Amino acid sequence: MLRKKVQVVVFDLSGKTPKVLLLKTNSSRGSFWQNITGSLNLNEAPLAGAKREMLEETGLSPHEIFDLGYSFEYDEFLEHVFGAVFLKSPGKITLDPKEHDDFKWVDLDQISKASYKFPSNFESFIVANMRVRT
């Protein structure tokens, strides 16, 4: 049976230039940039898990979080992807030091495959960006 995970692509639409949030994993986890990711708790619904992971990893609660209807399998995992949007300033980010040691808001037109270690993170960004821009 596949273990279930969630991924959340976070957008800040409050300024003139839309941005996406990237988190840098700490050195014990590989020191790479990614979207918010995490495992679901036992019997936890994917949307609830996405909200929980976002709060745990950043301290943020979005204006809107939505199911992208997109998921993918890798190794023994099934990862369900969500988008999150801030229409007003997101506020202060508080990272969980057990997982991440840095973050950055990146202009959408500056994101590329090279922005992420894993292609699935970039593909998730593409799907979420198409949804946010429509």
- Is this prediction's pTM over 0.85? yes
Please name every residue paired with 70 in a beta bridge, in sequence order, or none if there are none.
81
Are 30 and 95 spatial neighbours (Cβ–Cβ below 8 Å)?
Answer: no
Cβ–Cβ contacts within 10 Å for residue 20, how many? 22
Q: What is the CATH number of the domain that holds 119?
A: 3.90.79.10
Q: Which of 33-37, 63-67, 119-123 has the lowest mean pLDDT?
A: 63-67
Q: Which residue range forms the structural domain that includes residue 20?
A: 3-133
Instruction: State how many domains the chain has.
Output: 1
Please give the Cα distance from 33 to 24 (Å, whole number). 4
The string of pLDDT tens digits covering residues 52-102 is: 999 999 999 888 999 999 999 989 999 999 999 998 999 999 999 999 999
Please give the Cα distance from 31 to 88 (Å, whole number). 29
| More confident: 51 or 63 | 51
